[in-house]
Amino acid sequence: KRVTAEPDNWTRTSCVYCGVGCQMEVGRSAGRVVAVRPANSPVNRGHLCVKGRYAFDFNHADDRITSPMIRRDGGWEPVCWDEALDFTARRLQEIVDRHGPDAVGVLGSARATNEENYLAQKFARVVIGTNNVDCCARVCHTPSAKALKTMLGTGAATNAFDDIEATNAFLLCGANPTENHPVVGARIKQRVLQGARLIVVDPRRTELAALADVHLAVRPGGNVPLFNAMAATLVEEGLVDRDFVAARVVGFADYVAFVADYTPEKMAAVCGVAAGDIRAAARLYAAGRPSMCFHGLGVTEHLQGTEGVMALINLALLTGNLGKPGAGINPLRGQNNVQGAAQMGCDPASLTGAQSFKDAGPRFEAVWGRKLPASHGLDLLQMMDAARDGELKAIWAFGYDIYQSLADAAETGTALSRLDLLIVQDLFLNRTATFGTVFFPAASVFEKDGTFMNSDRRVQRVRQVLPPPGDARPDWWIIQALAERLGKPDGFAFDGPEAVWNEVRALWPAGAGLSYPRLDNDSPNWPCPDERHPGTPVLHADHFADGKAAELARIPFVATPEQVDDTYPLLLTTGRTLNHFNAGTMSYRTPNATLAPSDTLDIAPVDAAAYGLKDGDIVRVRSRYGHACLPVHVTPAMRPGQLFTSFHRPDLFVNQLTSSVRDRLVHAPEYKVTAVRLEKPDG
Ligand code: SF4
């Protein structure tokens, strides 16, 4: 129940939900959060959405866990911190002694601050001695980071949100910011209403798709042929920015030869979009210059997720839409600190600041006082495989409900059940805790200090509003305490987040200018190499990585093996909705649950009629991986043959359905394409 009271104190902090990174003031009264109001910042300009403004009551939910617990005799037994830490340290040490450090994996989280994610990966590499460290970015925008880093040199959005008002045309791909990044969605809509052109690539007729000049309702799995066909149009119709290509791009002649096989007329049937619409979109994107591309998980969560982003980067390179205001390739990061979690080094293949072991390793070894682990680390999905196969014995997961979140839940459950030690660190007993050995109660975003990193490369302060309840502690405190118990206190004796952040700044040149005193008044976009540097709203103004030209990527189309057939004749995509957030851990413990009490199965009217379904009917959806029951929502936003559902409500457990297919390069699950059939609930 919400407690209503006049706040007697307001604290400025960052929103805990999406990657827009809105700034807010949190009102406190009698030891509770009782209100949130928007703060002014370059990101949100005095606005908040229904999640940031109203969904804060999770902090005081009755089922908040406030004591460490150990599983004994099949149940959870509350214990003191000394007992929990001693028990966990002993079990971890036994596993390392018996199976080696690579039998342990650590998972950081967007719910944790930059400082906490930095300590998590340092713990993995220094205390345990493994590169088995990853975070939730793996399942969303690791494909974006990989594509942007590979082709342009920096794995982050190229342009700041402020460029929305400077663009003439938007290419919005696989993203529904009206619901998932609402403050940015509203800014895009405003700019479109002022005259900017809008191209939307989305299988569904979203609010912005309905407003678009061209809506390309791509068949799920058809992004690469669609983007290649747009590129072919640019080449064929003389819409390439020849000066930009000559000055800053290599591989043009080879690319022209490659893309000639991907004309809109050849690709229309493959991607499900009329050739004329593909050509119209390419012309608008080229003519709009500067044109700004935003993309979301509808691009990344595919077999060719990384390659889909690379195909988008090709479009920007061909039209000169990089290195200038109002342009760029901009992933809309889903979670508050998902950019920061990976950027801090919760990535098996890179160190803090996305720096390579080869270039930066010696500096890290000098500061950390030990050799870096030599072995190749496992990513999150590889950890699941290794756990299933009995090779990974322990996982420590921070603020991340793996079981609820990963695709193909049955496989995830099998993997988690085979671990010898699963340390769950969260506010609540989440679904992953079903398999947990130890539970560490974490402080919430309102109960700790630190920083988050948003979608447009700003580091922003998180400030403590309240003390944590009971024995809950900030993640950074817990990591340091466990390092001490494991006999490795050196390098883990920081007196607070600012000291941790200063070590990050010392190791990450692009963040060196972002001191806490500066962040009190300012949030420049990194790179910001010194305290007088103004920040870098536009990346690649003069050159790409290491002063080089960028190379166009020739991306052949590879069809997903997840295809419809007579047994599974419908295609299901999954995504998020306005009132809720991800696994629902927070938003379902707020009044937003009243606004949107359930996920729904969205279905086209013609399919609903064929199956005899109407709004509110409960239907069982069955895939090759599992089944779930959902209430039907009939809507003309869906194309015939396609279904959509969100995955927020914990008990509906939609990821029982989703596919085991993964991105070919970085293993993000293909949440966007699952073949299913519909059955009566008792069928
Ligand atoms: Fe929070 Fe995102 Fe909403 Fe802003 S748009 S208030 S960051 S959920």
Mean pLDDT calculated for residue range 306-335: 97
- Residue 381 and residue 481 in one domain: yes
- Residue 323 and residue 445 in one domain: no
State CA 30 to chain mean position distance.
35
Token code pair at residue 446: 């309102």
Q: What is the layout of strands, in order, in the sheet containing 69-72?
A: 75-78, 69-72, 438-441, 421-426, 394-398, 104-107, 133-134
| Nearest residue to 318 (alpha-carbon basis) of 372, 248, 396 | 248
Cα 17 to middle of ligand 1, angstroms: 6
Write the CA distances from 261 to 232, 252, 616, integer angstroms.
Answer: 8, 15, 46
- Residue 44 and residue 99 in one domain: no
Q: Does residue 565 belong to any structural domain of this protein?
A: no
Mutate to test the pocket of ligand 1, among 26, 37, 51, 184 (most ligand atoms within 8 A of CB): 51
How many angstroms separate the CA atoms of 527 and 509, rounded?
8
Cα 174 to middle of ligand 1, angstroms: 19
Instruction: Write out the residue range of the structural domain in which residue 27 sits.
Output: 9-60
Residues whose CB falls within 8 Å of the CB of residue 53, separated by 6 or more in sequence, listed in order: 24, 36, 37, 38
- Residue 322 and residue 346 in one domain: no
Mutate to test the pocket of ligand 1, among 22, 178, 582 (most ligand atoms within 8 A of CB): 22
- Residue 50 and residue 89 in one domain: no
Residue pLDDT, tens place only, 615-627: 999 999 999 999 9
Mean pLDDT calculated for residue range 524-529: 97
3-state helix/strand/coil string of 19-67: CCCCEEEEEEECCEEEEEEECCCCCCCCCCCHHHHHCCHHHHCCCCCCC
- Give the total number of structural domains in the chain: 4
**Residue 48 alpha carbon, nearest atom of ligand 1:** 6
How many angstroms separate the CA atoms of 462 and 644, rounded?
35
DSSP character at residue 587 = G
pLDDT at 546 over 90: no
pLDDT level of residue 402 (50, 70, 90 thresholds): very high
Residue pLDDT, tens place only, 78-96: 999 999 999 999 999 999 9
pLDDT at 2 over 80: no
Q: Does residue 149 belong to any structural domain of this protein?
A: no
Instruction: Look at residue 1 in the predicted model and tell me its pLDDT.
Output: 64
pLDDT at 441 over 80: yes
Instruction: Look at residue 334 in the predicted model and tell me its pLDDT.
Output: 87
Mutate to test the pocket of ligand 1, among 12, 13, 18, 452 (most ligand atoms within 8 A of CB): 18
| Nearest residue to 15 (alpha-carbon basis) of 461, 657, 513 | 461
**Residue 50 alpha carbon, nearest atom of ligand 1:** 3
pLDDT at 683 over 80: no
CATH of the domain at 575: 2.40.40.20
181: Cβ below 6 Å to ligand 1? yes
Instruction: Look at residue 461 in the predicted model and tell me its pLDDT.
Output: 98
How many angstroms separate the CA atoms of 234 and 251, rounded?
16
Q: Does residue 216 belong to any structural domain of this protein?
A: yes
How many angstroms separate the CA atoms of 509 and 579, rounded?
38
Q: Does residue 457 belong to any structural domain of this protein?
A: yes
Q: Does residue 531 belong to any structural domain of this protein?
A: no
pLDDT level of residue 361 (50, 70, 90 thresholds): very high
How many angstroms separate the CA atoms of 448 and 445, rounded?
6
- Residue 305 and residue 393 in one domain: no
Sign of CA dihedral 340, 341, 346, 347: negative
Cα 453 to middle of ligand 1, angstroms: 13
How many angstroms separate the CA atoms of 216 and 154, rounded?
29
Token code pair at residue 536: 């870098």
What's the mean pLDDT when you consider all of the chain?
96
Lowest mean pLDDT among 21-35, 540-554, 628-642: 540-554
How many angstroms separate the CA atoms of 207 and 642, rounded?
18
Interface predicted TM-score (ipTM):
0.99
- Residue 435 and residue 472 in one domain: yes
How many angstroms separate the CA atoms of 358 and 85, rounded?
35
How many angstroms separate the CA atoms of 107 and 547, rounded?
34
Sign of CA dihedral 227, 230, 235, 241: negative
Cα 14 to middle of ligand 1, angstroms: 9
Mean pLDDT calculated for residue range 477-494: 96
51: Cβ below 6 Å to ligand 1? yes
- Residue 342 and residue 321 in one domain: no
CATH of the domain at 397: 3.40.50.740
Q: Is 27 exposed, middle or buried (0-12, 13-18, 19+ CB in 10 A)?
A: buried
**Residue 181 alpha carbon, nearest atom of ligand 1:** 5
- Residue 111 and residue 96 in one domain: yes
Backbone dihedral region of 632: left (phi > 0), alpha (psi from -120 to 50 degrees) or beta?
A: beta
**Residue 185 alpha carbon, nearest atom of ligand 1:** 5
Mean pLDDT calculated for residue range 307-324: 98
Mutate to test the pocket of ligand 1, among 12, 17, 337, 452 (most ligand atoms within 8 A of CB): 17
Token code pair at residue 594: 């009243």
Cα 40 to middle of ligand 1, angstroms: 13
- DSSP letters, 243-293, are HHHHHHEE-HHHHHHHHGGG-HHHHHHHHTS-HHHHHHHHHHHHHTSSEEE
CATH of the domain at 28: 2.20.25.90
Cα 179 to middle of ligand 1, angstroms: 10
Q: Does residue 552 belong to any structural domain of this protein?
A: no
Q: 331, 349, 365: which is the final residue of a domain?
A: 331
**Residue 52 alpha carbon, nearest atom of ligand 1:** 6
Closest protein CA for atom 4 of ligand 1:
22
Q: 270, 303, 331: which is the final residue of a domain?
A: 331
pLDDT at 307 over 80: yes
**Residue 38 alpha carbon, nearest atom of ligand 1:** 6
- Cα torsion 279, 283, 285, 290 to 10°: value is 170
621: Cβ below 6 Å to ligand 1? no
Cα 302 to middle of ligand 1, angstroms: 26
Sign of CA dihedral 443, 446, 450, 455: positive
Sign of CA dihedral 472, 475, 479, 481: negative
183: Cβ below 6 Å to ligand 1? yes
Residue pLDDT, tens place only, 129-171: 999 999 999 999 999 999 999 999 999 999 999 999 999 999 9
CATH of the domain at 295: 3.40.228.10
- Residue 245 and residue 315 in one domain: yes
Cα 384 to middle of ligand 1, angstroms: 31
Mean pLDDT calculated for residue range 467-480: 98
How many angstroms separate the CA atoms of 679 and 642, rounded?
16
Mutate to test the pocket of ligand 1, among 12, 13, 20, 184 (most ligand atoms within 8 A of CB): 20
**Residue 53 alpha carbon, nearest atom of ligand 1:** 6
Looking only at the bridges linking them, the beta strands covering 329-331 and 9-14 are unpaired
Query: Which three-class secondary structure state does DSSP give residue 679?
Result: strand
Residue pLDDT, tens place only, 38-59: 999 999 999 999 999 999 999 9
Mutate to test the pocket of ligand 1, among 15, 164, 455, 581 (most ligand atoms within 8 A of CB): 15
- Residue 492 and residue 585 in one domain: no
pLDDT level of residue 4 (50, 70, 90 thresholds): confident
Instruction: Look at residue 680 in the predicted model and tell me its pLDDT.
Output: 87
In the chain, what percentage of residues exceed pLDDT 90? 96
Q: Does residue 144 belong to any structural domain of this protein?
A: no
Query: Which three-class secondary structure state does DSSP give residue 91?
Result: helix
- Residue 282 and residue 309 in one domain: yes
Write the CA distances from 45 to 22, 172, 177, integer angstroms.
Answer: 9, 22, 17
How many angstroms separate the CA atoms of 32 and 275, rounded?
57
Say if CB 305 and CB 407 are below 8 A apart.
no
DSSP character at residue 102 = G
How many angstroms separate the CA atoms of 194 and 177, rounded?
18
Q: 310, 331, 352: which is the final residue of a domain?
A: 331
Residues whose CB falls within 8 Å of the CB of residue 123, separated by 6 or more in sequence, listed in order: 106, 479, 482, 483, 492
Q: Does residue 187 belong to any structural domain of this protein?
A: yes
Cα 27 to middle of ligand 1, angstroms: 17
CA angle, 30 as apex, 29 and 36 as ends, to 5°?
Answer: 25
| Nearest residue to 275 (alpha-carbon basis) of 221, 318, 228 | 228
Cα 16 to middle of ligand 1, angstroms: 8
22: Cβ below 6 Å to ligand 1? yes
Determine if the peptide bond prior to 650 is cis (ω within 30°). no
Say if CB 143 and CB 300 are below 8 A apart.
yes
Say if CB 37 and CB 47 are below 8 A apart.
no
pLDDT level of residue 682 (50, 70, 90 thresholds): confident
